Structure 1
Amino acid sequence: MLLTGRLSLVSHGWLADHVVWGVVVVPGAALVELVLRAGDGVGCGWLEELTLEVPLVVPERGGVQVQLSVGVPDGVGRRVVGVFSRLEGA
């Protein structure tokens, strides 16, 4: 399954409260919520582990496009979820 969305300070004003070193980042709890919602859509409602390689940064102007990919189940029903982002216009 592939899910897409958009995050910005205009549409998600609460993100402005999550500034790290002068940069707005999406908090880990919000990423967990996104992944759990994606999992619910394919009948997998739990999260075993979430590893963040880089923070998801939201620009001061414009937005960031977000894509979640949910893989096929493995032998025991687990699925790999990928969260990808890019600045609008990039």
Structure 2
Amino acid sequence: RTHPWLADHAVNHTVLLPGTAFLDLALQAAHHTDTPHLEELTLHTPLTLPDPTPHHLQIRTTTPDTTHHRTLTISSRPEHTTTWTLHATGTLTTPPPA
């Protein structure tokens, strides 16, 4: 209801969150870290929005490893459930040298 444009992204009458929305979420999360470069983003499971049930999104990053890489995950769960579904994973890094 709050984002009617999502209804335009349907496959076989099932509304899906567009892949570019996962990209935007990953870039926004990266912007809030010291590793703002998105090196890779892999989509795993579509986020289906079949009804007006609200969904909780969870975007997590790990601490940087010794090579200054972080792992990013994007998951969701419908309201009133406890099981999270993994939708995307990615790698955040420092910007490459010019």
- TM-score of the superposition, structure 1-length normalised? 0.81
Structure 1 or 2, whichever has the larger Rg, is: 2
Residue 15, structure 1, aligned to residue 6, structure 2:
yes
Shift of 1:70: 1.0
Distance 1:43 1:71 in 2: 12
After TM superposition, what 4+ stretches of structure 1 lie above 6 angstroms from structure 2?
A: none
Provide the C-alpha distance between the structure 1 equivalents of 2:80 and 2:73, rounded to a whole number of angstroms: 21
In the alignment, what sits opposite 1:5? none
Percent identical among aligned pairs is: 37
In structure 2, how many angstroms separate the alpha carbons of the residues matched to 1:13 and 1:75? 43
Give the alignment of 1:1-90 within 5 angstroms: 10-90=1-81
- Show CA shifts across 1:33-58 (max 9, x none): 00110011113222111111110112
Q: Distance in 2 between matches of 1:83 and 1:46?
A: 16
Paired positions, count: 81
For the aligned residue pairs, the C-alpha RMSD in angstroms reads 1.2
RCO greater where, 1 or 2, for CA within 8 Å and sep 6 or more? 1
Cα distance in 2 between the residues matched to 1:14 and 1:29: 13
Mark the runs of 5 or more structure 2 residues left unpaired by the alignment.
82-98
TM-score by length of 2: 0.75
